[in-house]
Amino acid sequence: MANSKKRRKIIVFSIIGLVLVTLIAVAVFKKKQPVITVQTEKVIRTNIIETVVANGKIYPVVQVHISPEVSGEIIELPVKEGQRVKKGDLLVKINPDIYIAAVNLAKASYESSIAAKASAVASLEKAQADYDRNQELFNQKLLSESDFIGFKSARDVAKAQLDSANDQVNVAKANVDNAEEELAKTTIVSPLDGTISKLNSQLGERVLGTVQNTGTDIMVVSDLNTMEARVDVGEMDVVLIRPGQNVSLEVDSFKDQKFTGTVTDVASSSEGLNSLSSASSSTTQDATKFEIRIRISEKESFRPGMSVTGEIETRSRTNVLAVPFASVTARPPKPPPKPPGKSPKTNSVSPASKATNIAKAGGSETNTVKVAGSETNTTPTGNGATNVAKADKKGGAQQKLVDVVFVVEGNHVKMVPVKTGISDETHWEIVEGLKEGDEIVSGGFRAISRDLDDGKKIRKGAATGEEPKS
């Protein structure tokens, strides 16, 4: 009896001891999976407006560079920079002396040619009279033929001389007109109502005309009532921009105000493409830029050259599924599950696997990617280079990263590939892969971009990085 009681006690205590030891051993030696702290949000429906941000400067839409057609010294400059002028107002007067002399000379030549014409007329009259008189005599056979021909020729010569004199008069007249035209060009008036936005020359300066040269740029007259922003966008963004798109503008000088505008022109070729040094510029590292012109809707005291930043609304979507910008990251796609019994463990890159392995530089770390039963070890490079080893036996393109989002399932996450659409500053449009109300990981940055993977344990809270292992 006592023995059976004792035996019973031993059995009970043994069972209790065994249970406790087993549980303690499991708790201590269980593989500790790190718990990652994340922030979460729900997938929502919202409107998304995609914008392209570009910087540039403000210029007048209408801007005229005033250059003289004739050369000379500036003797009158009755305007100054910033002055408003009306169409027809005097801007510049160039010394007209030589041009006045040229006009006088031309006029004198013209007078002379008129006198020469009068002389030719008189000569023709005389020659015609002689011809008529001698023709009568020739008809009465009172004059020899040779003498008659002489009078006839004299008349023809007189006629020709008169014609030449007429031409000379015309030439002289044209010269007079030309000289007067040149003289008129010494006075330059404003071609439009505007403002002298830039004055390059001073009184007394000698300027070159544009007839045989590029001409001196004396001043610029601009219509400041209608201004445009000229901004530069990169080649990746320019394909999204079309005339007519709305733009929000911020001018550095008017920080508290917002302006609006409309795209009026998109450059067909990049800036600097046709420069003389295009061959050398193609080897430089400058980004390819295209100029976009934006008509500013509001009237404000803008000045040419002011800096402006424009947000061009390129595309928009209404009431679409959206996730926070930081939620989307790129990862290699999950390999398809292999049938059991294939691909035993190897220490070389498995030829049947389509996984992409990334070796860390320096040879101190290796990543292993498990592919449905086969384990593949990467080899460290040892030389500091990062290489991507392709495991596909058939060869070909490396595996493309796919956009993924981490969906919260209890205290784990599931990596879900998604198809994204457009984005704005805060959200990505989700075209495929999620539904409204799904809870997804929206932060921290390191967790999403690096630490999280399919099935990993998470904890919701403020982003503090990796939690102590559980």
Partner 1 sequence: MEPTLPTPAPPPAAPPAPATSLAGRLMNVLAAPGEVFAGIKAAPSSVANWLVPVLIFAVVGTISMCIMFAQPAIQQTVHDQQVKAMDKLVQQGKITQAQEDQALQAMEKFAGPVLLAVFGSIGIVVYGFVSIFGWALVLWLAGRWLLKTQFDYLKTLEVAGLSSIITALGMVITTLLAVILGRLYAGPSLALLVDDFDPTNRGHLLLGAVNVINLWHTGVLAVGLAKLSGTGTVKTATVVFGFWVLIELLLIGIGLGKWAL
Binding site for partner 1 (CB under 8 A): 5, 8-9, 11-13, 16, 19-20, 23-24, 26-27, 30, 35, 410-411, 457-462, 467-468, 470
Comparison of 127 and 413: residue with beta carbon closer to partner 1: 413
Comparison of 13 and 445: residue with beta carbon closer to partner 1: 13
Residue 463 burial by Cβ neighbours in a 10 Å radius (0-12, 13-18, 19+): middle
Spatial separation of the C-alpha atoms in residues 29 and 15, rounded to whole Å: 21
Spatial separation of the C-alpha atoms in residues 226 and 223, rounded to whole Å: 6
Q: Min. distance of Cβ 410 from partner 1 in angstroms? A: 6
Q: Min. distance of Cβ 5 from partner 1 in angstroms? A: 6
Q: Min. distance of Cβ 452 from partner 1 in angstroms? A: 15
191 within 8 A of 39, measured Cβ to Cβ: no
Comparison of 23 and 108: residue with beta carbon closer to partner 1: 23
C-alpha angle 43-245-51 in degrees, rounded to nearest 5: 35
Q: Min. distance of Cβ 305 from partner 1 in angstroms? A: 47
Q: Min. distance of Cβ 272 from partner 1 in angstroms? A: 53
Q: Min. distance of Cβ 324 from partner 1 in angstroms? A: 17
Comparison of 454 and 466: residue with beta carbon closer to partner 1: 466
421 within 8 A of 430, measured Cβ to Cβ: yes
Comparison of 34 and 351: residue with beta carbon closer to partner 1: 34
- Biggest CA–CA distance in the chain, Å, is 192
Tracing tokens 């003498």 back to the chain, one arrives at 147
Comparison of 65 and 460: residue with beta carbon closer to partner 1: 460
Comparison of 40 and 353: residue with beta carbon closer to partner 1: 40
Q: Min. distance of Cβ 441 from partner 1 in angstroms? A: 14
In the structure encoding, which two tokens stand for residue 304, read together? 């040419």
Comparison of 7 and 65: residue with beta carbon closer to partner 1: 7
Comparison of 369 and 413: residue with beta carbon closer to partner 1: 413
Q: Min. distance of Cβ 28 from partner 1 in angstroms? A: 9
Spatial separation of the C-alpha atoms in residues 187 and 91, rounded to whole Å: 8
What is the number of other CB atoms lying within 10 angstroms of the CB of residue 457? 15
173 within 8 A of 110, measured Cβ to Cβ: yes
Q: Min. distance of Cβ 10 from partner 1 in angstroms? A: 8
Spatial separation of the C-alpha atoms in residues 420 and 404, rounded to whole Å: 9
> What is the H or E stretch that residue 417 is in?
strand 412-417
Residue 153 is given by DSSP the state H
Q: Min. distance of Cβ 48 from partner 1 in angstroms? A: 24
Spatial separation of the C-alpha atoms in residues 380 and 358, rounded to whole Å: 9
DSSP reduced 3-state for 252: helix
Residue 319 has φ and ψ, to the nearest 5°, of: 55, 50
Spatial separation of the C-alpha atoms in residues 373 and 341, rounded to whole Å: 8
Spatial separation of the C-alpha atoms in residues 214 and 211, rounded to whole Å: 8
Peptide bond into 444 cis (omega under 30): yes
Comparison of 12 and 149: residue with beta carbon closer to partner 1: 12
Q: Min. distance of Cβ 249 from partner 1 in angstroms? A: 35
354 within 8 A of 345, measured Cβ to Cβ: no
Comparison of 33 and 346: residue with beta carbon closer to partner 1: 33
Residue 136 burial by Cβ neighbours in a 10 Å radius (0-12, 13-18, 19+): exposed
Spatial separation of the C-alpha atoms in residues 445 and 428, rounded to whole Å: 16
Q: Min. distance of Cβ 332 from partner 1 in angstroms? A: 28
Comparison of 162 and 458: residue with beta carbon closer to partner 1: 458
192 within 8 A of 223, measured Cβ to Cβ: yes
Spatial separation of the C-alpha atoms in residues 266 and 233, rounded to whole Å: 10
207 within 8 A of 72, measured Cβ to Cβ: yes
